[in-house]
């Protein structure tokens, strides 16, 4: 397994593979890899000749008061995880390699990014789209894999690829959970023991909403209320949002029909966690 830190090195390797007619699967990450990332890499491994993983904590997608500095990093451990799955190349650039002097071009979107996380993180998706398109242009994959845990990000990337005619197939992979139901996230490491217990309120509250829908409830407001009421029983939890939106457009719906995303963001202490389910 190669570890490259420059665009030039990655391009040379990728071009050599392309000349041999090999397909490339790509998993973009910010590192501190867990089972969720592993499932993406395994999907890439299964369906492509070569697998590239990027590990880059992208400054552009963090707001000024967010956790860029404290975001957990462990390249040595990440490299072992990648090696275990049979990854062929890790791209681990420094910020200066990705954002060279004078950088001033961005990818942005009018729809999809204003609701859910976009409300409290107004510049986040511009940073995500910009870095993902740059990574796509560097790695030139045939297939790219994203987790459904970041469902809004998945919808945004799918829209971007369609709108900008990017010739890459985007695959969304299911949320991977701890045994007790907490969705895997690199940010779970911020939780102390009490917060870790309290964090279960996310998956438990979503389960209540899901059950209601499965029993036939189609009123989005009722589902939102049931989820919110349950989250509010946990003293350490503070709701950022509980929303029901159309998955493709990320616009709020009143009636649940078609592919619908039920998504929540909740502060547990100072840590903001997200979780969701998609129905239909």
- Chain residues in the site for ligand PAF (CB under 6 A): 28-30, 58, 61, 128, 131-132, 150, 153
Based on CB atoms, which residue is closest to ligand PAF, 29 or 39? 29
φ and ψ of 77, to 5 deg: -65, -40
Based on CB atoms, which residue is closest to ligand PAF, 115 or 150? 150
The CB-of-127 to ligand PAF minimum distance in angstroms stands at 7
Length of the chain: 280
The CB-of-22 to ligand PAF minimum distance in angstroms stands at 23
CB 37 within 8 A of CB 27: yes
Based on CB atoms, which residue is closest to ligand PAF, 28 or 93? 28
**Inter-helix orientation angle 220-231/200-214, to 10°:** 150
The CB-of-257 to ligand PAF minimum distance in angstroms stands at 29
Based on CB atoms, which residue is closest to ligand PAF, 135 or 231? 135
The CB-of-61 to ligand PAF minimum distance in angstroms stands at 6
Cβ neighbour number for residue 17 with a 10 Å cutoff: 17
Q: Which of 34, 37, 92, 124 is catalytic?
A: 37
Reply yes or no on whether 37 is catalytic.
yes
- Alpha carbon distance 91, 138 (integer Å): 10
Q: Which residues are annotated as catalytic? A: 37
């Amino acid at each position: 397994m190669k570890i490259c830190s420059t665009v030039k090195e990655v391009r040379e390797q990728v071009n050599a593979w392309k000349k041999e007619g090999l397909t490339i699967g790509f998993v973009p990450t910010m590192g501190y890899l867990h089972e969720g990332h592993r499932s993406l890499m395994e999907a890439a491994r299964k369906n492509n000749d070569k697998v590239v993983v990027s590990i880059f904590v992208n400054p552009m997608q963090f707001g000024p008061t967010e956790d860029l500095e404290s975001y957990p990093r462990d390249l040595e451990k990440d490299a072992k995880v990648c090696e275990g799955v049979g990854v062929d190349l890790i791209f681990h650039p420094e910020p200066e390699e990705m954002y060279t002097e004078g950088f001033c071009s961005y990818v942005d979107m009018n729809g999809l990014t204003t609701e859910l996380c976009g409300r409290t993180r107004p510049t986040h998706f511009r940073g995500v789209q910009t870095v993902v398109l740059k990574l796509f242009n560097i790695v030139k994959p045939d297939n790219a894999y994203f987790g459904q845990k970041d469902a809004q990000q998945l919808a945004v990337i799918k829209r971007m690829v369609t709108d900008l005619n990017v010739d890459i197939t985007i695959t969304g992979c299911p949320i991977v959970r701890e045994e007790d139901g907490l969705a895997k996230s690199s940010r779970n490491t911020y939780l102390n023991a009490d917060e870790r217990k309290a964090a279960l309120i996310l998956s438990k509250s979503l389960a209540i909403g899901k059950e209601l829908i499965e029993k036939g409830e189609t009123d989005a407001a009722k589902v939102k209320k049931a989820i919110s009421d349950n989250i509010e029983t946990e003293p350490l939890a503070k709701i950022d949002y509980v929303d029901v939106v159309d998955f493709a457009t990320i616009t709020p719906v009143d009636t649940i029909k078609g592919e619908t995303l039920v998504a929540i963001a909740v502060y547990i202490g100072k840590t903001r966690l997200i979780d969701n389910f998609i129905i239909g």
